[in-house]
A and B are shown apart, each in its own frame.
Chain A
């Protein structure tokens, strides 16, 4: 158990819908990262927040957005869902945002778009 929690564990929805994925970082961690893992694309970095502020942006689509709240939990919003958005979405947290920082991954949310 990494100490990072993600809800829900599974999510099944239809194309065109909007969903929200939630992540609670480890106690004391200020940085939250979101990743998408699909079979054909591997693990892709989406976005990073540090203490409520966006720190780095990866391959995040415009239909996706994220935020980190004052209590440091984070939400990833996915809208106008397409079949290709079906994937495992991981959240990770770390204490700071330095290069040598250890990221601890949550168990993931499996999104299926039908």
Chain B
């Protein structure tokens, strides 16, 4: 059982479409991060959110941290083929300083 559940697991869309990836948990996190990983490489950090209700925007990507700091979402507007990859959320557990990664969402954006 994963502490962080991501949905959907797989997403295949056309260039120009919008999409949202969800990261949910019953645990409270002191911070939550989103990463993008390409095959054979390590994850690359996209954003860190710390405050409940926080919204961060990076160009076409919008990240939201839930008010209770238990869940998060990543919204991509007008997806491009370069957005293809594995998107991972990761939370630092509030009390024990451990990191937990979600199972990932594999995104494929077709030209």
Which residues of A are at the interface with B, using a C-beta cutoff of 8 A? 2, 4, 33, 35, 42-45, 48, 55-58, 90, 92, 97, 99-108
B90: A residues at CB distance < 8 A? 43
Contact across chains for B42 and A44 when beta carbons are under 8 A apart: no
Would you give the shortest CB distance from A52 to chain B, in whole angstroms? Answer: 17
Nearest residue (CB) in A for B35 is: A105
A35 to B99: give the CA distance in the assembly, Å. Answer: 10
Interfacial residues, chain B to chain A (CB-CB below 8 A): 2, 30-31, 33, 35, 40-45, 48, 50, 88, 90, 92, 96-104
In contact, A105 and B43 (Cβ under 8 angstroms):
yes
Q: Which residues of B lie under 8 Å from residue A102 when comparing CB positions?
A: 45, 48
Count of A-B contacts with CB under 8 A?
57
Q: Are B101 and A105 touching (Cβ within 8 A)?
A: no
Return the contact of B31 from the options A4, A45, A100 (Cβ within 8 A): A100
Q: Are A99 and B104 touching (Cβ within 8 A)? A: no
- Check B101–A42 contact: CB distance below 8 A: yes
Chain A residues near B97: list those with CB within 8 A.
Answer: 48, 55-56, 97
Decide: A108 near B98, CB < 8 A? Known: A43-B88, A99-B50, A100-B31. Answer: no
Would you give the shortest CB distance from B52 to chain A, in whole angstroms? 13
Q: B96 to A90, Cβ gap below 8 A?
A: no
Instruction: Give the chain A neighbours of B88 by CB distance below 8 A.
Output: 43
Chain B residue with Cβ nearest A4: B42
Task: Report whether B31 and A44 are in contact in the complex, using a CB–CB cutoff of 8 Å.
Answer: no
B41 and A103 contacting across the interface, CB-CB below 8 Å:
no
